[in-house]
Each structure stands twice: as structure tokens, then as C-alpha cells.
């Protein structure tokens, strides 16, 4: 017999009479002694006087007795259950069972040092509880308060549904006579790892002038945390329930990657850890398992920051399941890897779905906790905190601009090289970002053919300056190009000048600090000779949104119309598009095609990035594009030549 379908059945004695008549095996939805022993052994002692409310046919009292707790009285409203319990426990002297109502106890005041309730509160207070139900539970709480001795504990084993949590807190917290603690229980006795909690209310001798502490012991921690408010306690319980659901989700082979965030003491700093669980798709069950800690400074690389990269990482590590742990630049890890292992080791072990050798696993990495060297940092009014960092990847030094309000967003990346004077400088001739190479490759579609001719006059706009690396590359590799870079954040322009060697003094470049959408609106009204031959849209959106690049505002009819009208008649749009929603990507390209009748895409070899290329000229007026022929026209002296040629090979017509 299963749990009742209707909440009202929980409070109906007839339901329980029928339930126990049909179910002869012990009823342990909320866990047996083995599940509860960590809580029981921590808070209780053999000399305690126990009162169990609503014992049903559970074996908890029997198991308590067999583990040294002999002073136990259990009550239940169903006489047949009590008779059965007496029969089964007749050889356990001092163990008592009695028919009784938890809301009308007959015991003397202060007669018990422990009152245990395993599921009774949940049964009496369904989600749609009536006023009568609430009055019954209030009376039960009052009765528990009366029979509980000073220093005694009222322990409730519960699923901690929001209405249960709120009712318990609202009753006991205002009394100022109870220390309230919540502890998560790992319950496997029922065959289903339900998120079960133990609410522990410890009674003081008398009410105190101020509210007593609120505490929680999380499943991912070995220490008890003090909670500041009742709302924070409710949030902590909800977080633990979500955690249980995540662990249950990961108890079997995963078809897709899943992730969860853990916050530290200050949520404003962002997640302290982000944990991704990746299973190798070709495996039918989990036989090998490991964790991989991604050092700060490497977290935004394709191998770690993209789902496709993380699948490749799992294969490289040779594990059926790889738990990938990301850290956060805003957080401090003073004891480095030892602190990380201490913080999340227990939780990671819960994600081990092997049938054997669970709990014994390796923690892998490609360096320490933090492998970056911070060159400079500051705060922008528009983009928040930022950091310029250097890190070595595959024996090559890189410098990066990172915005700290996201965990895995590199705003700009440049390679470093040694100059003739033996100084470390920015390599402006080589593109470090894959989508920048794709954007340069898209120039093969321009009627001006700048990839084939070094001295082609060309007016170009770069919307989104960043570190200035794309604009700098254009200036150095196209000798008669004139580049307008439009950047909203003046702080970013300063960073490009001071840390990325942006050639701001070059007469062929103009940096405009302005909203790019406003700039497009202005240029659209100008005469033909003042418009652009190429517009590069290199603007980031929200990292965790379905559309990451560009922001949705750049894809409105007004914005697309202004892009079209800001280009010369044979002009070209090159737009970096990042979305993990394939249907959304198709819809966006359809919208762009309303303004640019000839549409191409440059696909990434690595991830979801693609560069959408729009031409104002209609398809029937253009020659068919053959990528192989275009590849052969790319100048040999072009920086990142091989990568640009590879990008050209990935040009495809959008139907």
C-alpha cells in the first residue's frame, strides 16, 4: 500500500487502520535506526526517558532498545498497531507501548527528556490543513512542551515541506525557550533517498530575553552553521532539498551534464563552488569515477567552460563519471587544495554512482587552486569588478581581461611574446580567441577581398572594444583599413590602452565611448561615403541566459535595420552569435535574414560559437561561394594565417 493520494487521509484514523491492516512489514518511509543513528548518537544518551509519538508499525523503538536505549514509551491512535508492537517486543522489559493521542498526553509535566516524532507531524499537518488540523498540531506542540523536561529535546523526523517548516518555526521560535537546529539525514532505508530532516528543539529552563540560536548542519558540511534569521533557516532547508534532488538525479547514469552551485558565507560574492557532473555517453554504467578541480585562471578555457569541452576532458581523464569543480575569483581558499577537499569532498563522494569502491576516488587538476598572476584589478561602474590576469596554457603565456561578475567569462584574451629587446609584450599579430579568427575568416565574403589584398581601403566598425585585440589586428593586417571601435564602458577603453597595447594613437583608429545601438542609429542617417564596409558585432550578453551573445537588444527589428542602413550597399555584417538553444539560433538567423537577404555562417570547431555573416546584396546577384577557392586567396602574411584559413573552410550558406 502506498502513501495516501489525498492529504486529508493523513489525519483520518480509518485510513491508518486500513493501512496497517494491509501492510505487515515495518513502515520506514522516513528511515530506520541506521539512518537516524548519527543524530540519535549525537544528541541522546541511554539514560534518557523516551516518548515516541505515532509509532505505527515502525521498528525504531525496537532498534533503539537493542542499541542501549531502554526507557522508551511509544504511543499511537490505532489499538491494533499497539497490540502488535507489544506482542513483538514482549521480551524487551521496560519497553512500553500504549494507545494514546499526541494532542492529549496523559504523562506528567517534565516526565521525558526526549520526545521523538517520526512522520507524525507530517501526517497531522497536510499542505491543505484545515483550521482544525492546525489547532490539533498546536495542541500537540503544547503537550510536548509540557511533558518535556528542562534540557530535553523534541526531535521531529520530517520531509520538511515548506508549510511544516513554517509552522514549526512559528510555534517554537517566538517562545524564546528553544534552541532550534535542523540536520539533514541521509535516508536509504526506504529504498528511495528522500530528503529527510531532523528538527531538533532543545528546551531551556525558562524563556530567555532574546531569541535563542537557529542552527543547521548541512549534508555537504561537517560543521554546524549559525543561521541569522528564520527566513535564512527556511532557505537553508530549501537548498538542502534541492541538493537531495540533485544527488538522486546523479544516482544513475546521466544522459546530459548537470550542475549545482554552492555559496559561501557571503552570497554576494557569487558561488564558492560550481560543480558539473559529466558522464561519458558511450558508457552504460559508471565503473570509474574521479573529481577534477579547475584552477582559477584556467576556468574560462574551452576545455572547462563549455559542455563539449567538458565531455572531451572526461574522455581525456579516462573516467566514466567526472565531477568538475570550479572555483571563484571572488572567494579565498587559504589552505588551497586541502581546503577545497575539506569543503566539498563529502558531497563529491555522494555523486559516486559506482556499485563498488565508492568513496575512494582521485582528485585531479592541472595545477594548484590559483594558477593565474593578477596584473591589475579595479571596478567599473558599468561592468563591475574586473581583473587583468596572466596564465600559461600549453606552454604559452596569455593575458586576459576577466569580468568578476561571472565565473567563466573572459572578455579579452591575448598571447604574450618576447620582443627584440627581451621584453614581454602583447602579440597583436596573433588572435587568441577562436571567434575573432572566425570573424576575420568571414572577411573572405566581402566584395573588397581584404584577405587577399593588403592595401584594400576599407571602413570597419567594431562594436565592443574589450581589450582592443580585434581592432588592433585589423589595423596591423589591413594597411588601408580605417577602424571605428565603439565601447560603452570608458574603463574598458583605459584597460585596452594600458594593459593590451591598443594602438590608440594610430591615425586610422577612432574610439567612440557610446552605446553601440545609438551609434548605429546615427550612422544609418549619414551619407553613403560615411557608412561602413564591414560591421563586427562583438558584444557579450548575459552568461547564463539562453542567448549569451549578442544581447537581445542587438537583434530587434530597429537594431537590425540600423545595422543594414549603417553599411554601404555592398557592405557586410559579421556578428558573433552564442546560444545553446538550437531553435533560438534558427529563429535569430531568420530574423537577421529579413534585413540581410544573403546569409552565411562561420562555424566553430570547438563550441557553440558561430559567426553570422549578412550581406545586403540579394543571393541571385552573387556568385556561389566555394570555401576551398576562398581558402586559397588568403594572404600568407596574414597573422594567424592557418587559423583564419580553417575558419574560411567552415563558411556555410544559410538556407
Across 428-445, average pLDDT: 94
Q: Peptide bond preceding 550: is omega within 30 degrees of 0, i.e. cis? A: yes
Across 542-563, average pLDDT: 89
Structural domain span for residue 320: 250-365
Looking at the structure, do residues 458 and 566 belong to the same domain, yes or no? yes
Among 17-26, 278-287, 518-527, which is the least confidently predicted range? 17-26
> By three-state DSSP, how is residue 571 classified?
strand
Whether residue 265 is predicted with pLDDT greater than 80 in this model: the reply is no
Looking at the structure, do residues 230 and 321 belong to the same domain, yes or no? no
Across 305-324, average pLDDT: 92
Under 8 Å between Cβ of 59 and 28: yes
Whether residue 489 is predicted with pLDDT greater than 90 in this model: the reply is yes
Report the interhelical angle of 557-565 vs 582-593 (nearest 10°).
50
Q: Is residue 592 part of a domain?
A: yes
Give the burial string for 487-502 (b: 16+ CB within 10 Å, else e): bbbebbbebbbebbbb
Looking at the structure, do residues 167 and 216 belong to the same domain, yes or no? yes
Looking at the structure, do residues 391 and 343 belong to the same domain, yes or no? no
Cell of 249: 538525479
Element (H, E) at 352: none
Across 603-629, average pLDDT: 82
Across 421-447, average pLDDT: 94
Closest CA to 311 of 261, 255, 368, 249: 255
Under 8 Å between Cβ of 364 and 292: yes
Looking at the structure, do residues 113 and 229 belong to the same domain, yes or no? yes
Q: Which of 220, 247, 274 is the last residue before a domain boundary?
A: 247
Under 8 Å between Cβ of 415 and 396: yes
Closest CA to 199 of 277, 144, 249: 144
How many Å apart are CA 67 and CA 50, to the nearest integer?
14
Sign of CA dihedral 549, 552, 554, 560: positive
Q: Is residue 208 part of a domain?
A: yes
Sequence-distant contacts of 380-387: CB under 8 A, at least 24 apart: 380/489, 380/491, 380/492, 381/491, 382/488, 382/489, 382/491, 383/489, 383/491, 383/492, 385/330, 386/411, 386/491, 386/495, 387/329
Looking at the structure, do residues 300 and 447 belong to the same domain, yes or no? no
Under 8 Å between Cβ of 150 and 111: no
Give the pLDDT confidence score for residue 24 in this predicted structure. 44
- Structure confidence by residue, pLDDT tens digits, 34-62: 878 888 888 899 999 999 999 998 899 99
How many Å apart are CA 121 and CA 382, to the nearest integer?
51
Sign of CA dihedral 494, 496, 502, 508: negative
CATH number at residue 346: 3.40.50
Whether residue 441 is predicted with pLDDT greater than 70 in this model: the reply is yes
Whether residue 1 is predicted with pLDDT greater than 70 in this model: the reply is no
Give the pLDDT confidence score for residue 408 in this predicted structure. 57
Report the interhelical angle of 469-477 vs 434-442 (nearest 10°).
40
Q: Is residue 240 part of a domain?
A: yes
Element (H, E) at 556: none
Looking at the structure, do residues 279 and 234 belong to the same domain, yes or no? no
How many Å apart are CA 241 and CA 164, to the nearest integer?
14
Across 288-295, average pLDDT: 94
Give the count of domains, the chain: 4
The residue written with cell numbers 604559452 in the block is 396
Whether residue 187 is predicted with pLDDT greater than 80 in this model: the reply is no
Whether residue 186 is predicted with pLDDT greater than 80 in this model: the reply is no
How many Å apart are CA 26 and CA 28, to the nearest integer?
6
Q: Which of 312, 341, 365 is the last residue before a domain boundary?
A: 365
| Listed ranges 67-81, 234-248, 300-314, 381-395; the one with the highest mean pLDDT | 67-81
Residue 374 CA to chain centroid, in angstroms?
25
Q: Is residue 1 part of a domain?
A: no
Across 493-512, average pLDDT: 96
Q: Is residue 304 part of a domain?
A: yes
pLDDT-derived band of residue 183, with 50, 70 and 90 as boundaries?
very high
Looking at the structure, do residues 643 and 520 belong to the same domain, yes or no? yes
Whether residue 3 is predicted with pLDDT greater than 50 in this model: the reply is no
CATH number at residue 121: 3.40.50.150
Whether residue 278 is predicted with pLDDT greater than 80 in this model: the reply is yes
Give the pLDDT confidence score for residue 41 in this predicted structure. 86
Looking at the structure, do residues 640 and 589 belong to the same domain, yes or no? yes
Q: Is residue 2 part of a domain?
A: no
Closest CA to 479 of 455, 512, 505: 455
Give the pLDDT confidence score for residue 9 in this predicted structure. 45
- Structure confidence by residue, pLDDT tens digits, 630-650: 999 999 999 999 999 999 999
Under 8 Å between Cβ of 320 and 289: yes
Task: Give percent of the chain above pLDDT 90.
Answer: 65
List of residues 6+ apart from 601 with CB closer than 8 A: 589, 610, 611, 612, 613, 651, 652, 654
Looking at the structure, do residues 301 and 403 belong to the same domain, yes or no? no
Give the pLDDT confidence score for residue 606 in this predicted structure. 67
pLDDT-derived band of residue 18, with 50, 70 and 90 as boundaries?
low
DSSP 268: G
- Measured at the alpha carbon of residue 155, what is the angle toward residues 150 and 161, in degrees to the nearest 5? 135
The residue written with cell numbers 518511509 in the block is 29
Give the pLDDT confidence score for residue 28 in this predicted structure. 54
Looking at the structure, do residues 179 and 266 belong to the same domain, yes or no? no
Give the pLDDT confidence score for residue 510 in this predicted structure. 97
Closest CA to 401 of 375, 427, 367: 375
The residue written with cell numbers 559561501 in the block is 264
Give the pLDDT confidence score for residue 264 in this predicted structure. 80
How many Å apart are CA 287 and CA 248, to the nearest integer?
18
How many Å apart are CA 449 and CA 443, to the nearest integer?
7
Q: Is residue 68 part of a domain?
A: yes
DSSP 54: S
Closest CA to 65 of 104, 103, 91: 91
pLDDT-derived band of residue 88, with 50, 70 and 90 as boundaries?
very high
Task: Give percent of the chain above pLDDT 70.
Answer: 92
Give the burial string for 351-376 (b: 16+ CB within 10 Å, else e): bbbbeeeeeebebebebebbbbeeee
Whether residue 136 is predicted with pLDDT greater than 80 in this model: the reply is yes
Give the pLDDT confidence score for residue 524 in this predicted structure. 97
Q: State the average pLDDT for the chain.
A: 89
How many Å apart are CA 334 and CA 45, to the nearest integer?
38
> By three-state DSSP, how is residue 378 classified?
strand
How many Å apart are CA 300 and CA 586, to the nearest integer?
26
Give the pLDDT confidence score for residue 220 in this predicted structure. 54
Give the pLDDT confidence score for residue 294 in this predicted structure. 93
Looking at the structure, do residues 401 and 355 belong to the same domain, yes or no? no
Across 501-530, average pLDDT: 96
Across 116-123, average pLDDT: 92
Q: Which of 313, 336, 365 is the last residue before a domain boundary?
A: 365
Under 8 Å between Cβ of 374 and 404: no
Higher pLDDT, 318 or 224: 318
Amino acid at each position: 500500500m502506498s502513501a495516501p493520494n489525498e492529504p486529508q487521509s493523513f489525519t483520518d484514523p480509518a485510513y491508518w487502520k486500513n493501512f496497517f491492516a494491509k501492510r505487515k512489514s515495518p513502515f520506514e518511509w522516513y528511515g530506520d535506526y541506521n539512518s537516524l543513528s548519527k543524530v540519535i548518537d549525537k544528541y541522546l544518551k541511554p539514560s534518557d526517558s523516551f516518548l515516541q509519538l505515532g509509532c505505527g508499525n515502525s521498528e525504531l523503538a525496537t532498534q533503539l532498545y537493542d542499541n542501549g536505549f531502554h526507557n522508551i514509551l511509544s504511543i499511537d491512535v490505532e489499538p491494533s498497531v499497539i497490540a502488535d508492537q507489544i506482542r513483538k517486543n514482549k521480551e524487551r522489559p521496560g519497553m512500553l507501548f500504549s494507545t494514546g493521542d499526541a494532542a492529549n498526553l496523559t504523562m506528567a509535566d517534565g516526565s521525558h527528556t526526549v520526545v521523538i516524532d517520526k512522520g507524525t507531524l507530517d501526517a497531522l499537518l497536510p499542505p491543505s490543513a484545515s483550521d482544525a488540523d492546525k489547532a490539533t498540531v498546536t495542541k500537540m506542540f503544547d503537550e510536548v512542551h509540557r511533558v518535556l523536561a528542562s534540557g530535553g529535546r523534541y526531535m521531529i523526523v520530517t520531509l520538511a515541506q515548506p508549510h511544516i517548516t513554517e509552522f514549526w518555526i512559528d510555534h517554537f521560535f517566538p517562545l524564546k525557550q528553544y534552541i532550534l537546529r535542523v540536520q539533514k539525514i541521509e535516508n536509504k532505508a526506504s529504498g528511495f533517498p528522500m530528503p529527510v530532516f531532523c528538527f531538533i528543539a532543545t528546551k531551556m529552563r525558562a524563556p530567555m530575553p532574546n531569541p535563542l540560536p537557529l542552527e543547521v548542519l548541512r549534508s555537504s558540511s561537517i560543521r554546524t552553521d549559525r543561521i541569522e534569521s528564520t527566513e535564512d533557516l527556511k532557505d537553508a532547508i530549501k537548498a538542502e532539498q534541492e541538493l537531495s534532488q540533485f544527488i538522486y538525479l546523479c544516482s544513475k547514469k546521466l544522459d546530459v551534464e548537470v550542475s549545482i552551485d554552492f555559496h559561501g558565507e557571503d552570497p554576494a560574492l557569487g558561488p564558492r563552488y560550481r560543480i558539473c557532473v559529466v558522464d561519458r555517453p558511450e558508457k552504460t554504467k559508471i565503473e570509474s569515477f574521479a573529481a577534477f578541480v579547475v584552477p582559477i585562471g584556467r576556468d574560462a578555457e574551452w576545455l572547462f567552460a563549455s559542455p563539449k569541452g567538458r565531455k572531451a576532458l572526461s574522455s581525456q581523464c579516462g573516467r566514466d563519471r567526472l565531477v568538475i569543480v570550479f572555483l571563484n575569483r571572488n572567494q579565498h581558499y587559504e589552505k588551497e587544495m586541502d581546503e577545497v577537499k575539506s569543503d566539498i569532498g563529502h558531497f563529491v563522494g555522494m555523486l559516486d554512482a559506482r556499485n563498488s569502491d565508492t568513496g575512494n576516488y582521485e582528485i585531479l587538476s592541472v595545477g594548484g587552486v590559483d594558477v593565474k598572476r593578477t596584473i591589475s584589478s579595479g571596478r567599473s561602474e558599468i561592468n563591475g569588478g574586473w581583473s587583468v590576469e596572466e596564465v600559461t596554457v600549453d606552454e604559452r603565456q596569455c593575458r586576459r581581461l576577466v569580468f568578476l561578475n561571472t565565473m567563466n567569462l573572459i572578455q579579452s584574451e591575448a598571447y604574450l611574446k618576447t620582443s627584440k629587446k627581451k621584453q614581454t609584450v602583447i602579440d597583436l599579430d596573433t588572435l587568441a580567441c577562436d571567434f575573432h579568427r572566425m570573424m576575420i575568416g568571414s572577411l573572405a565574403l566581402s566584395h573588397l577581398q581584404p584577405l587577399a589584398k593588403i592595401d584594400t581601403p576599407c571602413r570597419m566598425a567594431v562594436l565592443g572594444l574589450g581589450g582592443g585585440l580585434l581592432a588592433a589586428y585589423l589595423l596591423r593586417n589591413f594597411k588601408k583599413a580605417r577602424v571605428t571601435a565603439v565601447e560603452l564602458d570608458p574603463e574598458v577603453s583605459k584597460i585596452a590602452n594600458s594593459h593590451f597595447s591598443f594602438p590608440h594613437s594610430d591615425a586610422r583608429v577612432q574610439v567612440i565611448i557610446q552605446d553601440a545601438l545609438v551609434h548605429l542609429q546615427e550612422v544609418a542617417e549619414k551619407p553613403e561615403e560615411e557608412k561602413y564596409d564591414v560591421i563586427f558585432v562583438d558584444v557579450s550578453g548575459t552568461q547564463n541566459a539562453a542567448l549569451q551573445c549578442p544581447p537581445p537588444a542587438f537583434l530587434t527589428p530597429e537594431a537590425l535595420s540600423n545595422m543594414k542602413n549603417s553599411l554601404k550597399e555592398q557592405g557586410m555584417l559579421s556578428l558573433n552569435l552564442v546560444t545553446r538553444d538550437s531553435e533560438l539560433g534558427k529563429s535569430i538567423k531568420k530574423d537577421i535574414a529579413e534585413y540581410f537577404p544573403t546569409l552565411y555562417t562561420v562555424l566553430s570547431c570547438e563550441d557553440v560559437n558561430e559567426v553570422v555573416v549578412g550581406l545586403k546584396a540579394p543571393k541571385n546577384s552573387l556568385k556561389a561561394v566555394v570555401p576551398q577557392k576562398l581558402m586559397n586567396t588568403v594572404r600568407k602574411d596574414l597573422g594567424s594565417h592557418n587559423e583564419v584559413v580553417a575558419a574560411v573552410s567552415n563558411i556555410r550558406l544559410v538556407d
